[in-house]
Structures are given as structure tokens and as C-alpha cells.
């Protein structure tokens, strides 16, 4: 838990260095002057505890000169361990139990309650001051510890009185332990645990009840406390020969070391190593717990997703090292713009998430988002260079935009993409503008399932040479056979997949299924290259090359039988990552085709630079060819451009014979469209391909043959 839990400080003290986020002090604690559970817990601990401490110190100091050597050794070890407590990590919080407790209890058994209470109070005071705990916490922690220890001492005292033994003191320490002593010791441990747990549960965080805190991780605290206290009698035995005492250091040190390593691992699992911020896992867990809290308290929770707009360029042009440095500074800048109880996490890449402490209303959340964005617009100085960044932030607020973690995160994501697309910087989720609203979200939820269940199938649409009528390839077009909704077209789910992390598995699936089909055709004597559509996301990811190479190998196919179609958007960004992926694919022998050409804003420089073999003229120009002379000019220019750059030109969306003939006249190389064939499932596509050679080159006949087989699109 990274909210500042009062409790975290009572049982444990933490190393300040490695838990920066836990050391943030929370908002003001509830008033100590108005009656509340918090105030009662505080006053009882402080007043009762400090009274006890005062008395203990007064009793102990005069007797100190008579203390034996064992006392000083134990006291020394107690202090040593007080300043290096064992923290045994658990879940998301950093509570634990201090090894110094083993020595405190040893002092209690050997020298009675007063030296024990005096010692642990002094040690706690010093360590709290060193760690700069807020002033209200210091007396509370000392007091509640003294009371807990005092109650264990009471159990011991009652036993000694009942059995008519003198209670040990500094002057007259305990002579020896008997097996029967284990009874009151165990009773004392239990008392200590329950008093301690009760006192800090009284100071439960706002929004948590006494029971929440009392039973939170109950078993864990119970066993760690008992385990540490069980060492106390061993200290008592060893104290008979103080020279042996330092030997206890070794095993205790080993325990401490192991515990701190495991805690470090836990920390790593929940934090981003580059920025030190919490990671996705941690912030989602925190979001879940804040939603619970908000449900109980009827407050709101605001969640923001922030994405840097041009960060990729920095990484691509200056390398990851500079990019990483910059991200670390960005992280600080974001944190600096927030209040201490807000949480920032790095989700990966240049994406951050912010969880805001309860805000007044949605407007307040948007205001904070603007403030963060504003903070990032100031130039950054990193490694002697000046950077200007922009960020897009999407905001979603519980309860208006969603009730649970998933919808809240997704809606913040939707808002963020909107902010990016519209270049507005900050957007709050608005259902009307959500192309992912309810039914779409349900669809997205089903997509993962669909991938595993084989509901996604590939259809094939032939591309035919305009001069010879030969098939030059087929395009793989994915369809979703939805169990309830029937056939769902890619336009409906591909954009969602692109925003959801499902793009990579989807592309992998389509590549695999298409190549499996090509291999079957090949065995049957049909050598047909397949063109698979890949999205921008695929090209930015690093594994496309690996996926392609291994699929080709798996199906034992030459790379020349695979083409990748990319949208023109790749040409609007000069991305080193895209360039290197495409170059590597080309070296492998896989050609790239530029899809929907004419609809985007291509950079001619990039068109020349990137290894692209084919341009597909967007169907919006092609379909109007017969009606609009302007489009004839455009198509002719694109064909010339392609040929000038050594590429082939393919027209998509050829729906009529006139268009087919016009394209022939313009020198276009190949055509694809309903006039030739609609996309066909694998069986129909196989039949279509088989029939073709005998019917060449009369495409009119082909068209007649294909019509009956129309399946989709
Ligand atoms: P695209 O790559 O431009 O694919 C061509 C689209 O035009 C297909 O739509 C096809 O059915 C349609 N089409 C073909 N001939 C004609 C015609 O004569 N007239 C008209 N009006 N339309 C025609 P579809 O299958 O709905 O696919 C839409 C888009 O979805 C594709 O556009 C492509 O960008 C994307 N897509 C399809 N499958 C995949 C895939 O596996 N991965 C990715 N990343 N995108 C895919
Ligand atoms: Mg395509
Ligand atoms: Mg296209």
C-alpha cells in the first residue's frame, strides 16, 4: 500500500532511501481535539505511554551504575537493531517487525519492565528523530510501544506475584529460566501483539475502519511478531556468558539481509527501474484499493493517462540513453506538479498514469491534468541539450465514468487518444465521443477470447495483373465470426485492437493462418504470395521481424511469398524503429506494400528512403475514376510516381469493367476489387484460384464465376 498508513510506522521503521514513495507524508491527520477514534487512539497512547515512560526512566537511571555487563551488551545490540530493522515484505505494503524487539523482551525478562521500557523509548525517540517522522507521530509511536510492552510486563508481573518470586530488576536480575516460564512468556507475546495491533488500528486511515486495520494482514503480523519475540528467551540463555552474545549477530544479520533482499525484489516487482516510480501493476492495485475506499466513503477517484507526444523522435534520433535520461526527468517533473498523495506510475515507454487524491469534482481533475501538462511544456535540459515535449492526458473519474478498474483505465485511455487526435492536450472521458462505448468495450473484451477460440478467420482477396490477368497475389483480410453478432468486419475491431495490446497477437495469428494457407496452396501446385496488413503498432514493436521469420520457417516457405501492407501513416513519421524493421524485413526477403496511398500525408523523402516495393492506390480515387477527371490525373500521377521510384502500382476497389479498362490505359500494374472477386474464405478462394488459369484472360468471365462465391466485404 503506498498510501501513507499510520500503521506502517508503528511496528516498523523503514530505510528511507529505498522507499521514497512510502515516505511521503499524507494530508493532515484528523484533528486531535475533536472526539474521534483517531483522537482517542492518539491520546491514550501518548498520555498513558509517556506517563509509563517517565516512570520507567526515573526508575532506571539511578540503578544504571549497578547494571551487569550482559545488560550493556544487550542494550548495545538493541540499539544496533533498532537502527537496522528487519523488514519482511508482504503484499504491497512495507510493514514488518523489528529485530530489536527480541532484545527488548530479553531486557524485560532479565531486568524487569522499567529498564526495558526506558531503553526502547530512548531508542525509538532517537530513530524517529533521525528519520524525521512528523512531530505528531513521534510521541504516539513511543507511547504505544511503551503501552504494548507494559502490558506484556504486566502479565509477567502477575505471574511472579502469583508464584511468590521477586520481579527481576537491574540490581537483581533474573536467576534462571525454567520450562514453566514459557507459559507467561507466550501469554506476554500475545498480549503485546493484541495491544499493539489495537492501538494502531485506532489510528486507521480515513476511509478504513478499526476492523480493516486490525485484520489486515493479521496472520502475517501475528507470526512475524511471535517469531521475533521467540528469540528473546534465547538471548536470555546466551546472556549467561555475555562474551557469546555477539554470536547472535550473525544469524540475526543473515535474517535481516535475506529479508531486505526479498523486500528489494518486491520493490523491483512493483516499480519501474528507470524512473523509480511505481509500475503498472502497483498503480492498478492502488487504483483498486482507492475505488474500494471511494465506494465506502462516497468520494471520487480520478485516474489520468499521460502519453508524451513526440518522445519517439528523441529515442529514434538520439538513442535510448538520452531518451531514458529524459524520461527520468519527465517523471520528476510530473511528480513535482502533483500533491504528495497523488501517485504517478510509469506504465512503459512514454506512458504514465496518475492517480489523484480525492478531488472535488471532474473539473478539478481536469485542472490538475492541465497543470501537469503545463509543467511538461517548459523545456528540458538533458545531457547538454534542450528538449521541448508535449503530452496528451486523458482523464476518467469514478463514479461518473466507470465503477471498476478496467472501465476506468480504458476510458482514461479513450480520452487520452482523443486528446492526442484532436491535439487538445487534455480530455476527460465523454461517452458520446467514445468510439469505444459500451458495446465496443464488450466487443474488445471478447477479442482476446476470439483469438484463442479460433473465431478470427482470414479471407483472401485476389490481386490480378492488369496486363496479363494472372493472379499476382492475394490479400489476407481478417474477419471475426462472433458467436452472437455474426460476422464482424475488421474496421470495427482493428482500431480497438490497436489501442489495446491485442494487435501483436492478432497480427501474429493472421500471419500464421495466411502462411499456413499459402503452404497448402503450394502443396496443391498453386504458388500465390499473400499480403498481410500490419498496423503502425506492429512496426513500432520489436518482434514483428521475429514473428515473420519464425512463421516462414514453420511453414517452410520462401520469404517472397509474404508481403506486408502498411498504411501510409508510416510515412508521416520519421521513425528509426520503423525504418530498421522494414530494412530487416527486406533483407529477409519480405516486400512491403504501401496501403491506402493518397489518403495520408506522405513524405516524399521517406517514400524514397524506405524499402517499399508496391503502392496501393486508395479506393476512394479508384472508385471515382469514371466520374471525376481529377481522379484520373491523381491516379496517373501516382502510377508515374511509383514507376519512377521503381515500385509497382496496384489499384484497390476496382468495382467495374470501365475502371478496369481505364486503369489498363493508365499503365497501372495490378488491380484488386469486387469486379475481380470479393474477399473469399479459404475454400472458396482455393476454388477461385483453381478455376482461374483455364479462364484467362477474360476477366469478365472470371467475374461471373466469382459472383456466386461472394462471401464478404
Ligand atoms: P485494406 O487493407 O485497404 O483492405 C481493403 C479493403 O477494401 C477490405 O475491407 C476489402 O474488403 C475492401 N474492398 C476490396 N475490394 C473492394 C471494392 O471493390 N470496393 C469496395 N468498396 N471495397 C473493397 P475490409 O476487409 O473490411 O478491411 C478493412 C481494413 O481493415 C483493411 O483495409 C485493412 O486496413 C484492415 N485489415 C483487414 N485485415 C487486417 C489484418 O489482418 N490486420 C490489420 N492490421 N488490418 C487489417
Ligand atoms: Mg490492405
Ligand atoms: Mg487499402
- Considering the domain architecture, whether residues 377 and 304 belong to the same structural domain is answered as yes
- Considering the domain architecture, whether residues 601 and 571 belong to the same structural domain is answered as yes
- Stronger pLDDT, 234 or 706, i.e. the higher one: 234
pLDDT at 547: 94
Atom of ligand 1 nearest to the CA of 565: 2
Ligand 1 pocket test target in 455, 544, 626, 652 with most atoms within 8 Å of CB:
652
Ligand 2 ion: residues within 5 Å (CB): 533, 565, 595
Q: How confident is the model over 360-382, as a mean pLDDT? A: 90
pLDDT tens track for 653-698: 999 999 999 999 999 999 999 999 999 999 999 999 988 654 434 3
Cell of 65: 551504575
- Considering the domain architecture, whether residues 329 and 213 belong to the same structural domain is answered as no
What's the predicted TM-score (pTM) here?
Answer: 0.49
Q: Residue 12 and residue 94: Cα distance in Å, rounded?
A: 8
Residue that is written with C-alpha cell 527480541 in the block: 102
Domain count, the chain: 3
- Residue 632's alpha-carbon distances to 463, 541, 676, in angstroms, are 21, 38, 20
Q: Which of 100-114, 442-456, 577-591 has the lowest mean pLDDT?
A: 442-456
- Considering the domain architecture, whether residues 490 and 579 belong to the same structural domain is answered as yes
Res 215 pLDDT > 70: yes
Structural domain contains residue 28: no
Structural domain span for residue 250: 38-270
Q: Is 487's C-beta closer than 6 angstroms to any atom of ligand 1?
A: no
Ligand 1 pocket test target in 533, 538, 566 with most atoms within 8 Å of CB:
533
Gap from CA of 41 to ligand 3 centroid (Å): 69
Cis peptide before 54 (omega within 30 of 0): no
**8 Å CB contact between 522 and 532:** no
Q: Is 285's C-beta closer than 6 angstroms to any atom of ligand 1?
A: no
Residue burial 525-538, b: 16+ Cβ < 10 Å; e: rest: ebebbbbbbbbbbb
**Residues forming beta bridges with residue 346, ordered by sequence position:** 352
pLDDT at 600: 66
Gap from CA of 510 to ligand 1 centroid (Å): 14
pLDDT at 205: 65
Res 100 pLDDT > 90: no
Atom of ligand 1 nearest to the CA of 596: 3
Structural domain contains residue 682: yes
What letter does residue 34 receive in the DSSP assignment? S
**8 Å CB contact between 173 and 110:** yes
Cell of 466: 492488369
Share of the chain above pLDDT 70, in %: 86
Cell of 629: 477527371
Gap from CA of 681 to ligand 3 centroid (Å): 19
- Considering the domain architecture, whether residues 135 and 243 belong to the same structural domain is answered as yes
Q: Residue 265 and residue 348: Cα distance in Å, rounded?
A: 19
Domain closes at, from 221, 248, 270: 270
pLDDT tens track for 560-575: 999 999 987 666 666 7
Q: Residue 272 and residue 277: Cα distance in Å, rounded?
A: 5
Nearest CA to ligand 1 atom 10: 713
- Considering the domain architecture, whether residues 357 and 253 belong to the same structural domain is answered as no
- Considering the domain architecture, whether residues 407 and 550 belong to the same structural domain is answered as no
pLDDT tens track for 125-148: 887 787 777 788 888 888 988 999
**Residues forming beta bridges with residue 392, ordered by sequence position:** 307
- Provide the 3-class DSSP secondary structure of residue 15: coil
Under the banding of pLDDT at 50, 70 and 90, the label for residue 357 is confident
Q: Residue 480 and residue 451: Cα distance in Å, rounded?
A: 9
Gap from CA of 697 to ligand 1 centroid (Å): 25
Q: How confident is the model over 390-400, as a mean pLDDT? A: 92
pLDDT at 542: 64
pLDDT at 535: 86
Cα 227-232-234 angle, rounded to 5 deg:
100
- Considering the domain architecture, whether residues 462 and 598 belong to the same structural domain is answered as yes
CATH number, residue 428: 3.30.70.270
Q: How confident is the model over 71-82, as a mean pLDDT? A: 85
Share of the chain above pLDDT 90, in %: 43
CATH number, residue 683: 3.20.20.450
Gap from CA of 476 to ligand 1 centroid (Å): 9
For 286: left if phi > 0, alpha if psi spans -120 to 50, otherwise beta; the answer is: alpha
Atom of ligand 1 nearest to the CA of 623: 19
Q: Is 489's C-beta closer than 6 angstroms to any atom of ligand 1?
A: yes
H helix or E strand, kind and range, residue 122: helix 113-130
Under the banding of pLDDT at 50, 70 and 90, the label for residue 163 is very high
Nearest CA to ligand 1 atom 11: 713
Under the banding of pLDDT at 50, 70 and 90, the label for residue 262 is confident
Structural domain contains residue 12: no
Q: Is 652's C-beta closer than 6 angstroms to any atom of ligand 1?
A: yes
- Considering the domain architecture, whether residues 644 and 701 belong to the same structural domain is answered as yes
Q: Is 533's C-beta closer than 6 angstroms to any atom of ligand 1?
A: yes
Cell of 162: 502469583
**8 Å CB contact between 429 and 366:** no
- Classify burial at 457, counting beta carbons within 10 Å of its beta carbon; exposed 0-12, middle 13-18, buried 19 or more: middle
- Considering the domain architecture, whether residues 635 and 662 belong to the same structural domain is answered as yes
**Residues forming beta bridges with residue 436, ordered by sequence position:** none
Structural domain contains residue 98: yes
**8 Å CB contact between 585 and 545:** yes
Gap from CA of 252 to ligand 1 centroid (Å): 67
Res 340 pLDDT > 90: no
- Report how many helices (DSSP H) and strands (DSSP E) the chain contains, helices first: 29, 16
Amino acid at each position: 500500500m503506498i498510501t501513507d498508513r499510520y500503521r506502517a510506522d508503528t511496528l516498523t521503521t523503514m530505510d528511507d532511501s529505498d522507499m521514497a514513495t512510502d515516505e511521503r507524508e499524507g494530508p493532515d491527520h484528523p484533528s486531535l481535539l475533536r472526539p474521534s477514534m483517531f483522537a482517542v487512539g492518539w491520546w491514550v497512547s501518548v498520555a498513558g505511554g509517556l506517563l509509563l515512560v517517565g516512570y520507567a526512566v526515573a526508575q532506571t537511571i539511578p540503578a544504571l551504575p549497578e547494571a551487569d555487563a550482559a545488560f550493556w551488551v544487550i542494550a548495545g545490540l538493541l540499539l544496533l537493531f533498532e537502527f537496522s530493522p528487519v523488514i519482511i515484505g508482504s503484499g504491497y505494503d512495507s510493514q514488518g517487525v523489528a529485530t530489536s524487539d527480541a532484545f527488548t523482551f530479553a531486557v524485560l525478562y532479565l531486568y524487569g519492565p522499567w529498564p526495558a521500557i526506558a531503553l526502547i523509548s530512548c531508542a525509538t525517540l532517537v530513530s524517529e528523530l533521525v528519520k524525521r517522522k512528523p512531530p505528531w507521530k513521534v510521541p504516539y509511536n513511543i507511547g504505544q510501544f511503551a503501552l504494548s510492552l507494559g502490558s506484556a510486563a504486566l502479565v509477567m508481573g502477575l505471574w511472579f506475584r502469583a508464584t511468590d518470586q521477586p520481579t527481576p530488576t537491574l540490581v537483581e536480575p533474573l536467576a534462571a529460566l525454567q520450562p514453566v516460564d514459557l507459559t507467561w512468556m507466550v501469554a506476554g507475546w500475545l498480549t503485546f501483539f493484541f495491544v499493539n495491533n489495537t492501538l494502531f488500528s485506532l489510528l486507521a486511515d480515513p476511509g478504513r475502519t478499526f476492523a480493516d486495520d486490525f485484520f489486515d494482514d493479521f496472520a502475517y503480523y501475528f507470526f512475524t511478531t511471535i517469531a521475533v519475540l521467540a528469540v528473546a528467551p534465547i538471548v536470555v540463555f546466551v546472556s549467561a556468558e555475555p562474551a557469546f552474545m555477539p554470536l547472535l549477530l550473525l544469524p540475526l544479520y543473515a535474517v535481516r539481509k535475506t529479508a531486505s533482499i526479498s523486500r528489494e525484489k518486491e520493490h523491483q516487482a512493483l516499480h519501474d527501474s528507470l524512473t523509480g516510480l511505481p509500475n503498472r501493476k502497483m498503480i492498478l492495485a492502488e487504483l483498486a484499493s482507492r475505488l474500494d475506499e471511494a465506494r465506502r466513503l462516497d468520494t471520487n477517484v480520478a485516474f489520468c493517462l499521460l502519453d508524451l507526444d513526440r518522445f519517439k523522435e528523441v529515442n529514434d534520433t538520439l538513442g535510448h540513453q538520452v531518451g531514458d535520461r529524459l524520461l527520468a526527468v519527465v517523471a520528476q517533473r510530473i511528480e513535482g506538479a502533483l500533491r504528495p498523495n497523488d501517485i504517478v506510475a510509469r506504465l512503459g515507454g512514454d506512458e504514465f498514469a496518475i492517480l489523484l487524491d480525492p478531488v472535488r469534482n471532474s473539473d478539478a481533475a481536469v485542472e490538475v491534468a492541465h497543470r501537469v501538462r503545463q509543467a511538461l511544456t517548459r523545456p528540458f535540459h538533458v545531457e547538454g541539450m534542450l528538449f521541448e515535449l508535449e503530452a496528451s492526458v486523458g482523464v476518467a473519474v469514478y463514479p461518473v465514468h466507470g465503477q471498476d478498474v478496467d472501465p476506468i483505465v480504458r476510458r482514461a485511455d479513450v480520452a487520452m487518444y482523443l486528446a492526442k487526435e484532436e491535439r487538445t492536450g487534455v480530455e476527460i472521458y465523454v461517452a458520446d465521443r467514445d468510439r469505444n462505448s459500451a458495446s465496443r468495450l464488450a466487443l474488445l473484451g471478447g477479442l482476446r477470447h476470439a483469438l484463442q477460440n479460433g473465431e478470427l478467420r482470414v479471407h483472401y482477396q485476389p490481386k490480378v495483373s492488369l496486363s496479363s490477368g494472372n493472379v499476382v497475389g492475394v490479400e489476407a483480410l481478417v474477419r471475426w465470426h462472433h458467436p452472437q453478432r455474426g460476422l464482424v468486419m475488421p474496421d470495427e475491431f482493428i482500431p480497438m485492437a490497436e489501442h489495446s495490446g491485442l494487435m501483436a497477437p492478432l497480427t501474429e495469428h493472421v500471419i500464421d493462418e495466411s502462411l499456413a494457407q499459402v503452404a497448402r496452396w503450394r502443396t496443391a501446385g498453386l504458388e500465390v504470395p499473400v499480403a498481410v496488413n500490419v498496423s503502425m503498432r506492429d512496426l513500432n514493436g520489436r518482434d514483428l521481424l521475429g514473428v515473420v521469420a519464425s512463421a516462414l520457417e514453420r511453414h517452410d516457405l520462401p520469404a517472397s511469398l509474404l508481403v506486408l501492407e502498411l498504411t501510409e501513416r508510416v510515412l508521416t513519421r520519421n521513425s528509426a524503429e520503423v525504418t530498421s524493421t522494414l530494412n530487416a524485413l527486406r533483407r529477409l526477403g519480405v516486400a512491403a506494400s504501401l496501403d491506402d496511398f493518397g489518403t495520408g500525408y506522405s513524405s516524399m523523402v521517406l517514400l524514397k528512403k524506405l524499402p517499399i516495393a508496391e503502392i496501393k492506390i486508395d479506393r476512394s480515387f479508384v472508385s471515382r475514376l469514371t466520374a471525376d477527371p481529377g481522379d484520373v490525373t491523381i491516379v496517373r500521377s501516382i502510377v508515374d510516381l511509383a514507376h519512377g521510384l521503381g515500385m509497382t502500382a496496384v489499384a484497390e476497389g476496382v468495382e467495374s469493367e470501365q475502371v478496369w479498362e481505364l486503369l489498363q490505359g493508365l499503365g497501372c500494374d495490378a488491380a484488386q476489387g469486387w469486379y475481380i472477386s470479393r474477399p473469399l474464405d479459404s475454400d472458396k478462394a482455393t476454388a477461385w484460384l483453381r478455376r482461374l488459369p483455364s479462364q484467362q484472360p477474360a476477366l469478365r468471365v472470371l467475374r461471373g464465376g466469382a459472383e456466386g462465391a461472394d462471401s464478404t466485404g
